[in-house]
Structure 1
Amino acid sequence: MNDANNNALKKRYQYVFNQLEYIRESHIPDVSLQEMGTVESVSAGIAIVSGLFGAGFEELLLFPNDIYGIAFNIDEHEIGVIMLGDYTALHAGDEVKRTGRVMDIAVGNGLIGRVIDPLGNALDAKGNIVTRERFPIERPAPDIMSRSPVTEPLQTGVKALDALLPIGRGQRELILGDRQTGKTAIAIDTILNQKDKNVLCVYCAIGQKSASVAKTITTLQRNSAMEYTVVMVTEGNDPPGLDYIAPYAATSIAEYFTQQGKDVLIVYDDLTQHARSYRELSLLLRRPPGREAFPGDIFYLHSRLLERSTHLNEALGGGSLTALPIIETEEQNMSAYIPTNLISITDGQIYLSPTLFSLGVLPAIDVGKSVSRVGGKAQKPAFRKVSGALKLAYAQFEELETFARFGARLDSDSLLAIEHGLRIRACMKQAESHPFSVAAQIAILLALTKGLLDTIPLNVIDSAQDSIIDGLGTLAPALYEKLASAQPLSDEESDTVMTMIKTKLASVASTADTKTTTGTER
């Protein structure tokens, strides 16, 4: 009886198998199957989805009304999704589709001069953006063998930086300080100074106020900087998911140009808001909180971003990606969680002091707390020669100045050091959106290091600098070109420049004396 049943089952299975083979070999067209899921719940910036058992980590999911999300929490029975659009129209029960791809963004020359959001949509009313390629926003950082040493300077046009805290192409230099201390101003001045220097710029505004972003874009347009700049914007009322992906998308755009052998500067303004948005998403997705309620992978969040900045070797085109991340401190606390994380990731930091800011020392760079770990290796020879002793002299001056405030009696050498330090501080002051050329900086630094400004009254230091800059036009074209390229000067050329500086300073000093005498007579 059992044998008969077994034979019957075998015949049935064989019949079904033959029918399936016939269907497969016939000319019936293939029917594509698509995995569908269902929205279980929607919260502020996230959604919980079920039914997508084949979805992968960071896969792009499509919701109704062409709203996208990123699969972030892959659990056994549900998926936590970070929403990238207006999620307020979604409801429980809505269908969700897999796309089979990760989040990517359009890259190419068509983005230069445009203002976009992290999804690649134009925000500047200049029409659609036309590009041929797309890059994933999350890309692996170049390996060690693909990198070259950082030796070429990135001139910021800010005297205090180029002289005391030089930045190299391919470096990651952190800008940090309390609110309203001029962090963004330094980054924007650096972008403005890249005009005609073959450096493309990407400015990424993360969770900024609309008025602040509009002011920045206006500054870039007024100084013709949009001709070589891409601006990516997320505003304060955008979903936190857009804040989260913004720096990664901006870096992919920058990497496209880097792979073409070009030098690129990227500004992240600021990563504090980025970290807060990620904390918000993580808490909503019920990830375990750690220090200051940030998730445990917050260090990895920024390290995998900033490690993508580098100087590629010649075999890969020799391009570079220089990063200027900005973060905000609270009450000058540099030892908070996010600041210490980013200080350890980057190659140095520029600390802006609210005390100096309130005293009118702008940019308010605290030289004692700032450092560039690349240092003189990223300076041209002429720069290195004229600025080598400045940082030490300035540090000594600040220490002596503290003693002088307590009424300590100082000897003549200390008094001279204070007078010299006051001139250094005065020369390091600089108006916003007025970067200095290389030739102008070298001439001013040369006057400083030789002590030629020590006898000039502090109230005419600005006039003295302007006079020195005007005097550069009287130099021979070949000598000026050498200064502009920061090449070493011969003794005879140095004497020529020194003679010009002394002549100009003598004229300024005599003018100051005349005004003082006239004022006394009155």
Structure 2
Amino acid sequence: MSNNVIKTSEVSEVLRMQLEGISTDIKFDETGVVMQVGDGVVRIYGLHNAEANELLRFDNGVEAIVMNLEEDNVGAVLLGSSAEIREGSTVKRTNRMASIMAGEGLLGRVINTVGTPIDGKGKVTGELFEMPLERKAPGVVFRQPVDTPLQTGLKAVDSMTPIGLGQRELIIGDRQTGKTSIAIDTIINQRANFEAGNPIYCIYVAVGQKGSTVASTVQTLKEYGAMDYTVVIAANGSDPAAMQYYAPFVGAAIGEYFRDTGRNALVVYDDLSKQAVAYREVSLILRRPSGREAYPGDIFYLHSRLLERAARIISQQEVAEHMNDLPPSLKGKVKGGGSLTALPLIETQAGDVSAYIPTNVISITDGQIFLETDLFNQGKRPAINVGISVSRVGGNAQIKPMKKVSGTLKMDQAQYQELAAFTKFGGDMDKVTAMTIDKGKKNEQLLIQPLHQPMSVEKQVAVLYCGTEGLLRDIPVEKVSEFEKQFLFTLDVNHKETVLDRLKNGEFNDEITAILRKVAADTVKQLQN
């Protein structure tokens, strides 16, 4: 009887031997079922642990991003066609936040919101890093002051509403007033930096535009050699609303890749009005409560969390390593001293800057360039309204010679526009008023610039010096553009080293101004003969 007694130690030994080598880690995919699908939005049951902004994947490869977390279901937006997705379709969690693969291989390419190339040049090559679409903006501790200019090549902008690295400058105006042209000219003007080995990488985000318009823009950038340092993200009007909504975040993520690896980047959001419309569409289908003017109440938060990501990061390596929410793929590669500058575009209705979306974005950005239809129709290019346009960074984002030359220009032009309005009523003018109007007219003519012909900063300083110092008083208004051409030609040929190169390096003294005055006087004489 005693021989049949089973010892506990023996049983545990046998069990241990049998269980050895068996993995005890439980691996499972959390899957959900589509309850409802329509208008690019799906409601899913069963994803109890899904997180906001998490990427989901359907069996047919289409991806979706979680936007709403409700008690009994998850609301997600589709990044692709909903044609093959039906009630009862299964969807899996990826346990990854929505992200984009960024790297040098994107330069010169046109991609869509999910990072797929749409330019017919095959796959994106080179090393790519995963960058999250949504990311906390750098804190105040990590930011440097905005004190280095980003030259647009446009006299009116660089002199009166200058833009600095890390700034957010809004370009606002009605449709067909030249908003995109300012952004494209700014990108083209970075060619000189690229050739000098100090590139400012550009990201152009086209939201809700026609495919033909985007193709035309890409062609323009190619013609001027700007695609070498530019990435174009296209979310066309025919794409789902979610693709248009997320496109600016993709632009910000790619810009942050360059910024966090110690380079300078510029991102153009063209335009955020269309992103707002796409967000409203998605939000109302998801039954998010609407706010003022039937927009969702958090539309301000949408634009603020996007634009706050523009910053110039401090240069200390060790501090930059501890930046907020650093993507794991960039660990060890982060360098301080990079910057991300944002140029958001907003379309107004009949010049109404006090509408809901314009006031939102004006309050988030560091200044705005306001383009006016009337000025555009009068042939003023760029059609900037000097009175409403402002840069809150001001002279900090200008080289010293430009600061000196343009100091009074904005005030002079605003004064001229007021006086010009009064003189329409007729009546006699005193000598001082007549001189102010004459100077204003000629300065206005000097600030006109042909499309896609940005001007180097030293030439801008030389030309504007003639205007602000009243050196054009003896020639008629219609000869101002001819004066500009001859004056710059003479400087290029005879005074490149003595004047232009020194202005570029920040020198501005009596010797330089004496040469500028002499060349201007000689040019005026030639035009009078």
TM > 0.5: yes
Match runs of 1:223-302 below 5 Å? 223-302=224-303
State yes or no: 1:58 paired with 2:56.
no
Q: Deviations over 1:319-368 (max 9, x none)?
A: 11111000100011101100000000000000000011111111110011
Whether the 8 Å CA contact 1:48–1:79 is kept in 2: the answer is yes
* Structure 1 counterpart SS, 2:60: helix
Partner of 1:414: 433
Partner of 2:3: none
Larger deviation: 485-494 or 272-281?
A: 485-494
Residues 82 and 22 of structure 1: CA distance in aligned 2, closer, same or farther (over 3 Å): farther
Q: Deviations over 1:194-219 (max 9, x none)?
A: 11212111101011111211111010
Match runs of 1:13-92 below 5 Å? 25-29=19-23, 32-92=27-87
Q: Which runs of 5+ in 1 are unaligned?
A: 1-13, 511-522
* Structure 1 counterpart SS, 2:208: strand
**Structure 2: distance between partners of 1:420 and 1:106:** 53
| Aligned match for 2:473, one of 440, 450, 454 | 454
Partner of 1:516: none
TM score, norm. by length of structure 1: 0.92
Whether the 8 Å CA contact 1:467–1:508 is kept in 2: the answer is no
| Aligned match for 1:399, one of 415, 418, 441 | 418
* Structure 1 counterpart SS, 2:206: strand
Whether the 8 Å CA contact 1:482–1:489 is kept in 2: the answer is no
**Structure 1: distance between partners of 2:502 and 2:274:** 41
**Structure 2: distance between partners of 1:490 and 1:426:** 26
**Structure 1: distance between partners of 2:493 and 2:226:** 29
TM score, norm. by length of structure 2: 0.91
Partner of 2:337: 318
Give the residue type in structure 1 aligned to 2:419: L
Partner of 1:509: 528
Give the residue type in structure 2 aligned to 1:119: V
Q: Deviations over 1:442-463 (max 9, x none)?
A: 1111111111112211111111
| Aligned match for 1:193, one of 189, 192, 200 | 189
CA-atom RMSD, angstroms? 1.9
Partner of 1:9: none
Whether the 8 Å CA contact 2:499–2:512 is kept in 1: the answer is no
| Alpha-carbon distance, 1:58 to partner | 1.2
Q: Deviations over 1:418-439 (max 9, x none)?
A: 0111001111111110111112
| Aligned match for 1:120, one of 107, 115, 119 | 115
| Alpha-carbon distance, 1:65 to partner | 1.1
| Alpha-carbon distance, 1:23 to partner | 10
Residues 343 and 379 of structure 1: CA distance in aligned 2, closer, same or farther (over 3 Å): same
Give the residue type in structure 1 aligned to 2:242: G
* Structure 1 counterpart SS, 2:234: strand
Partner of 1:5: none
Give the residue type in structure 2 aligned to 1:509: Q
**Structure 2: distance between partners of 1:272 and 1:146:** 30
Aligned residues: 495
Q: Deviations over 1:76-120 (max 9, x none)?
A: 111111111111221101011110111111111111111111111
Whether the 8 Å CA contact 1:61–1:69 is kept in 2: the answer is yes
* Structure 1 counterpart SS, 2:92: strand
Partner of 2:483: 464
Residues 23 and 359 of structure 1: CA distance in aligned 2, closer, same or farther (over 3 Å): farther
| Alpha-carbon distance, 1:28 to partner | 2.8
* Structure 2 counterpart SS, 1:274: helix
Give the residue type in structure 1 aligned to 2:314: N
Residues 225 and 451 of structure 1: CA distance in aligned 2, closer, same or farther (over 3 Å): same
* Structure 2 counterpart SS, 1:427: helix
| Alpha-carbon distance, 1:481 to partner | 4.7
